[in-house]
C-alpha cells in the first residue's frame, strides 16, 4: 500500500486507538443505524443477520482499530484487506459506496465521542480513511478486472438456474447451479465461495449469502451445499427459503467465485482436511480435486458431525478416498461414542510436516488450530476459513 500521510496525522490516529478499543462497537452501531436510515438501498448489500447479531459492528470496529494501530505500517493489515476485498467483490461493493461509508463513520465518531472528537482528530481520521478506502478500491478494482476478463467471467450478479437439488443429510442440501444463459462457468480454486442473492417474497430488500463451492471445478455448473438454520435464527432466513421454496428450475442470482481459502493444487506433500459441521463444504471441493489431480498425495480427511443423520457426504468422501493411493478418512460423531477430534487423534493422523485446512464453527477451529500448533505445525502451514464477518480468531 502506498501510504502518504503526514506524521502529524499518523500520530493523531495512533493516539486515538485506545479510545476506539473502548468505544468501537458503540461507534459502529451508531454508524450502521444512521447509514441505513439515510441510505436504505444499502440494505440490499449488507447481511441483515450479521447486523442483528452485532457481528458486522464488531468486525468493522476491529478493522478500524487495526488500521489505527498499524497506521505507520499498513502493509501489516494487507492480508486482512485482501480477505475483506474478496468479500466486497463477492457482494458487489462499488467505489461510490466508500465516500458514503466514510461520511457516516466520521459522523458516528463525532456523535459518540462528542467534544473529545476535536476538528483536528476528525480531520486526521478523514485523511486516514481516504487512504485506506483508496487501497480497498484499488485491490477490488483488480479483482473485478480479473473476474471479468477470465473465460466465462462476469462482474456483480448473474442469473443461474437450479438444475438439481439433492439432500445430503438431515440439515444440508446441495444445489447444482447452471448459468441461465446456457454459458459455461469460470474455473475456480477449490475452497472458494460464491454469493447467492435472492429476493424473498414479502421482504423489501434483497439478501446475499456466501456459500462455499462444494465440488471440484466443472465446466458447466457450480454446486453449493447449504445448511438449513433454524427459522427463528436471523442467519436462517435465506437457508430456510432455499430449502423450502427454491426448487429445480427456479432462478437465483450468483456472483463470480472469490476467496483466499484455497487448496494449493501444485503440492504433493501431505495434507489434512479437518472440518466441523457445514465446514465440510469447501473440503469436498478440495478432496475431490486431490483425487482428480494428485491421487498419490498423502491425505487425511477428518470430519466432526453431531450425529449420524447430520453427517453429510460420507459416501462421496469414501469414493474419493478409494481413488487415492494414500488416504485416511474418519467421521467423528460428537454426540456418540467416537466423540470429538482431540489433540491425541490429530497426533495419530496428521503429518505435521504437511499442510492442514480447517473449517467449521469458530470454537471448533480455535481448538483444532491450537492443537495443531501444539503438535509442532507452523502457523503458515495451517489454512482456515470461517463463515461470517472477519472476526479475530483467538488461537494464541
- The answer to whether 349 is a known catalytic residue is no
Give me the phi and psi of 165, to 5 degrees please: -130, 120
List, in order of start, the domains of the chain with CATH numbers.
7-149 (1.10.490.10), 157-255 (2.40.30.10), 271-385 (3.40.50.80)
Which of 65, 98, 241, 320 does the annotation list as catalytic?
98
Q: Is the Cβ–Cβ distance between 243 and 173 less than 8 Å? A: yes
| Per-residue model confidence (pLDDT) at position 354 | 96
Alpha helix ranges (H) inside the chain: 7-15, 17-38, 48-52, 55-69, 78-91, 97-113, 119-149, 236-245, 280-293, 314-322, 343-349, 362-374
CB 11: neighbour CB atoms within 10 A?
13
* Length in residues, the chain: 396
| Per-residue model confidence (pLDDT) at position 389 | 47
- pLDDT by position in tens, the chain (length 396): 555 788 999 999 898 889 888 888 898 889 999 999 999 989 888 877 666 667 777 777 778 888 888 888 878 887 778 888 898 999 999 999 999 999 999 999 999 999 999 999 999 999 888 888 888 899 999 999 999 999 999 999 999 999 999 999 888 999 999 999 999 999 999 999 999 999 999 989 999 999 999 999 999 999 999 999 876 776 788 999 999 999 999 999 999 999 989 999 999 999 999 999 889 999 999 999 999 999 999 999 999 988 887 888 999 999 999 999 999 999 998 776 556 899 999 999 999 999 999 999 888 999 999 999 999 999 999 999 765 544 444 433
Using one digit for the tens of pLDDT, what is the confidence trace for 84-115? 889 899 999 999 999 999 999 999 999 999 99
Which of 32, 65, 129, 140 does the annotation list as catalytic?
140
Q: How many helices (H) and strands (E) does the chain have?
A: 12, 11
What does the block give as the cell for 130? Answer: 481516504
| Per-residue model confidence (pLDDT) at position 49 | 66
- Residues 234-265, buried b or exposed e (16+ Cβ, 10 A)? ebbbbbbbbbeebeeeeebbbbbbbbebbbeb
Query: Please, is 70 exposed, middle or buried when counting C-beta atoms within 10 Å of its C-beta (0-12, 13-18, 19+)?
Result: middle
| Per-residue model confidence (pLDDT) at position 196 | 96
The annotation status of 339 as a binding-site residue, yes or no, is no
Please give the torsion angle defined by the CA atoms of residues 253, 255, 260 and 264, in that order, rounded to the nearest 10 degrees. Answer: 90
| Per-residue model confidence (pLDDT) at position 391 | 45
CA-to-CA distance for 359 and 366, rounded, in angstroms? 10
The contacts of residue 65 (CB under 8 Å, 6+ apart) are 17, 20, 21, 24
Secondary-structure breakdown of the chain: helix, strand, coil percentages, each rounded to the nearest 5: 45, 20, 35
The annotation status of 384 as a binding-site residue, yes or no, is no
The annotation status of 209 as a binding-site residue, yes or no, is yes
- The answer to whether 32 is a known catalytic residue is no
What is the Rg, in whole angstroms, of the alpha carbon atoms belonging to the chain? 22
| Per-residue model confidence (pLDDT) at position 76 | 81
The annotation status of 389 as a binding-site residue, yes or no, is yes
The annotation status of 188 as a binding-site residue, yes or no, is no
Amino acid at each position: 500500500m502506498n501510504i502518504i500521510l503526514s506524521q502529524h496525522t499518523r500520530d493523531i490516529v495512533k493516539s486515538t486507538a485506545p479510545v476506539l478499543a473502548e468505544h468501537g462497537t458503540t461507534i459502529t452501531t451508531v454508524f450502521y443505524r444512521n447509514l441505513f436510515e439515510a441510505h436504505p438501498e444499502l440494505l440490499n448489500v449488507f447481511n441483515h443477520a450479521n447486523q442483528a447479531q452485532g457481528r458486522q459492528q464488531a468486525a468493522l470496529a476491529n478493522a478500524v482499530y487495526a488500521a489505527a494501530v498499524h497506521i505507520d505500517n499498513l502493509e501489516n493489515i494487507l492480508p486482512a484487506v485482501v480477505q475483506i476485498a474478496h468479500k466486497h467483490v463477492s457482494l458487489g461493493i462499488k467505489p461510490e459506496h466508500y465516500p458514503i461509508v466514510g461520511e457516516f463513520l466520521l459522523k458516528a465518531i463525532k456523535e459518540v465521542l462528542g467534544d473529545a472528537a476535536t476538528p483536528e482528530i476528525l480531520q486526521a481520521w478523514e485523511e486516514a480513511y481516504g487512504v485506506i478506502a483508496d487501497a480497498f478500491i484499488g485491490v477490488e478494482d483488480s479483482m473485478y478486472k480479473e473476474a471479468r476478463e477470465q473465460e466465462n467471467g462476469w462482474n456483480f450478479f448473474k442469473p443461474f438456474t437450479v438444475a438439481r437439488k439433492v439432500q445430503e443429510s438431515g440439515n444440508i442440501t446441495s444445489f447444482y447451479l447452471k448459468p441461465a444463459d446456457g454459458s459455461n462457468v469460470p474455473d475456480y480454486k477449490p475452497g472458494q465461495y460464491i454469493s447467492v442473492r435472492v429476493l424473498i417474497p414479502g421482504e423489501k430488500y434483497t439478501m446475499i449469502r456466501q456459500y462455499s463451492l462444494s465440488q471440484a471445478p466443472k465446466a458447466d455448473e457450480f454446486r453449493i451445499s447449504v445448511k438449513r438454520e433454524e427459522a427463528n435464527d436471523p442467519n436462517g432466513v435465506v437457508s430456510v427459503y432455499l430449502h423450502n421454496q427454491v426448487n429445480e428450475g427456479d432462478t437465483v442470482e450468483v456472483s463470480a467465485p472469490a476467496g483466499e481459502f484455497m487448496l494449493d493444487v501444485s503440492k504433493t506433500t501431505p495434507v489434512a482436511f479437518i472440518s466441523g459441521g457445514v465446514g465440510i463444504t469447501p473440503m469436498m471441493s478440495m478432496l475431490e480435486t486431490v483425487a482428480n489431480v494428485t491421487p498419490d498425495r498423502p491425505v487425511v480427511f477428518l470430519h466432526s458431525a453431531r450425529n449420524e443423520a447430520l453427517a453429510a457426504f460420507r459416501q462421496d468422501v469414501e469414493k474419493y478416498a478409494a481413488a487415492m493411493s494414500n488416504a485416511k478418512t474418519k467421521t467423528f460423531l460428537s454426540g456418540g461414542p467416537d466423540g470429538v477430534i482431540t489433540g491425541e487423534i490429530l497426533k495419530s493422523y496428521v503429518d505435521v510436516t504437511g499442510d492442514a485446512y480447517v473449517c467449521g464453527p469458530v470454537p471448533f477451529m480455535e481448538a483444532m488450530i491450537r492443537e495443531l500448533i501444539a503438535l509442532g505445525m507452523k502457523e503458515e502451514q495451517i489454512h482456515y476459513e470461517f463463515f461470517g464477518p472477519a472476526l479475530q480468531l483467538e488461537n494464541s
